[in-house]
Amino acid sequence: MTHLDELQARADRRIMHTYAPGKAAFVRGQGSMLFDAEGNAWLDLLCGLAVTNLGHAHPAVAHAVAEQAKTLVHTSNLYLTDPAIALGETLARILGWEDANVFLCQCGATANEAAIKLARKHGKAQRDDKVRLVALEGSFHGRTLATLEATGQPGKHAPFAPLAGFVDHVPYDDPDAVRAAVTEQTCGVLVEVVQGEGGVRPVPDEVLIAAREACDAQDALLIVDEVQTGIGRTGPWFAFQDTPVVPDVVTVAKALANGLPIGACVARGQATKTFQPGDHATTFGGNPVTSAAALAVVRTIEQEAVLSTAHRRAERLRNGLDELVATSPLAVGVRGRGMLLGLELVAPVASDVEVACRDRKVLVNAVGADVVRIAPPLTISRAEVDQALATLADAVDEVATTTQPADHTSPKERS
């Protein structure tokens, strides 16, 4: 029995079946590589779902965690600790918001949950029925009941219906629909700059502008979900910083502590005056260990000029994927920004490409029937980028030999 089979058998007995059977099992990570129990090295182009931006086992993060764990691990939200306050100050600085207020929590869903509650309280201060939220079709904002309802994927709603019914979803690429949906009953608009789980789809600037203008007109909050795009994933610290809009609230998680569970909801302007003591809380928010890890992440990115290096690697990766599109009958386009890219296929065989890559010890994932997501560490080397491109080309070629021919047009053009 392999290590994977053994772990899966144990999981089947004791772990709730919320996930499909494991596709691999790992015992160690280093940089862009993961290692299984048999000693095989796997190139990680998924990055723990856009989490380990500094790669696995980064020494600066490991040192910060170890030192903090030896000093102080937990105090609850009743008391103050320096790492949590310092993290709030750091987030304000990299956002460029002098008046920023931060709520620290455990993950992206709890960050978005806080943002939704913030928007509803902001709305109710104006009128009792100003509690509706506008979100985009294809979006993903979490798995709690409120964030699940905000998620624009009906298939994920079905097992838990009926939901509360306070979210209005509109097409991700229709600015007029956004404007029409925001009314005097709308407390906030929740958007991603790039829809990660929705197929690595960039949201057009026109939609973001429409959302900003509509929120201003109705005194609603514009919330940008940067859970997957934040901390340098698309280029700047936050994806919205490459757009024409500035939100009232930003949520961040995943890469903030390079693998430790943390999230943050950050507000500016009038939104900073909304929450009062007792309105919201979490026992583990601002945990000293995870906060210390997050501080080490930001410090390392700045000291090692990671964003600049990642920009060059992202260009190399994108250019290579464009070359693959130009030569392959199966690959039709590349979308996304920075180190969050989707390889578009002309047929619903993304899962087959994922398997073909996995057979070659390279990790990607099918984030749609015809889209393969590629989200490597920001610290990936030139040689690893070239290895990734060569493997993807081999995998796509293998799948193409068993796929029926199709028109070489993008999904947008075919719709």
Residue 104 CA to residue 116 CA, distance in Å, equals: 15
pLDDT at position 404 = 66
* pLDDT per position as a tens digit, 20-30: 999 999 999 99
Residues 26 and 97 in one domain: no
pLDDT top residue among 407 and 19: 19
* Pair 258, 51: CB distance under 8 Å: yes
The pLDDT, as a whole number, for residue 403 is: 83
Check whether residue 298 and residue 357 sit in a common domain.
no
Q: Are residues 23 and 171 in the same domain?
A: no
Q: pLDDT for 63-85, tens place per residue?
A: 999 999 999 999 999 999 999 99
Q: Do both 343 and 319 map to the same domain?
A: yes
Assess whether pLDDT exceeds 50 at residue 90. Answer: yes
Under 8 Å between Cβ of 150 and 141: yes
Single residue among 275, 303, 331 that ends a domain in this structure: 303
Residue that is last in its domain, among 286, 303, 320: 303
Q: Are residues 66 and 51 in the same domain?
A: no
CATH of the domain at 381: 3.90.1150.10
The answer, yes or no, to whether residue 160 has pLDDT greater than 50, is yes
Q: Region 288-306: what's the mean pLDDT?
A: 98
Domain boundary among 258, 284, 303: 303
Confidence band of 405 (pLDDT split at 50, 70, 90): low
- Give per-residue pLDDT as tens, 94-135: 999 999 999 999 999 999 999 999 999 999 999 999 999 999
Same domain, 249 and 322: no
Q: What is the pLDDT of residue 156?
A: 97
209-267 per-position pLDDT tens digit: 999 999 999 999 999 999 999 999 999 999 999 999 999 999 999 999 999 999 999 99
Q: How far apart are CA 373 and CA 389, in angstroms?
A: 13
Percent of the chain clearing pLDDT 70 (strictly above): 97
Instruction: Compute the average pLDDT of residues 197-209.
Output: 98
pLDDT tens sequence across 314-366: 999 999 999 999 999 999 999 999 999 999 999 999 999 999 999 999 999 99
**Number of domains present in the structure of the chain:** 2
The predicted model scores a pTM of 0.96
H helices, E strands: number in the chain: 14, 17
Q: Give residue-wise pLDDT tens across range 173-201.
A: 999 999 999 999 999 999 999 999 999 99
Between residues 220 and 407, the one the model is more confident about:
220
Looking only at the bridges linking them, the beta strands covering 365-368 and 371-374 are: antiparallel
Predicted local confidence at residue 85, as pLDDT:
98
Say whether both 226 and 291 belong to one domain.
yes
pLDDT tens digit string along 365-403?
999 999 999 999 999 999 999 999 999 999 999 999 998
Same domain? 111 vs 222: yes
| pLDDT for res 352 | 98
Asked if 39 and 66 sit in the same domain, the reply is no
**150 has pLDDT over 50:** yes
Which pLDDT does position 73 carry in this prediction?
Answer: 98
CATH code: domain of residue 124: 3.40.640.10
Is 137 exposed, middle or buried (CB count within 10 Å of its CB: 0-12, 13-18, 19+)? Answer: middle
Residue 105, beta-bridge partner list: 263
Name, in order, each residue with C-beta under 8 angstroms of 302's C-beta and a sequence gap of 6 or more: none
**Are residues 73 and 30 both part of a single domain?**
no
Inform me whether the pLDDT recorded for 408 exceeds 90: no
Same domain, 19 and 70: no
Domain that holds residue 338: 3-57+305-414
Considering the domain architecture, whether residues 340 and 274 belong to the same structural domain is answered as no
pLDDT score of 1: 87
Indicate if the alpha-carbon torsion angle 405, 407, 408, 413 is positive or negative: negative
182 vs 134: CA distance, rounded Å: 7
| Cα angle for residues 284, 289, 293 (degrees, 5° grid) | 120
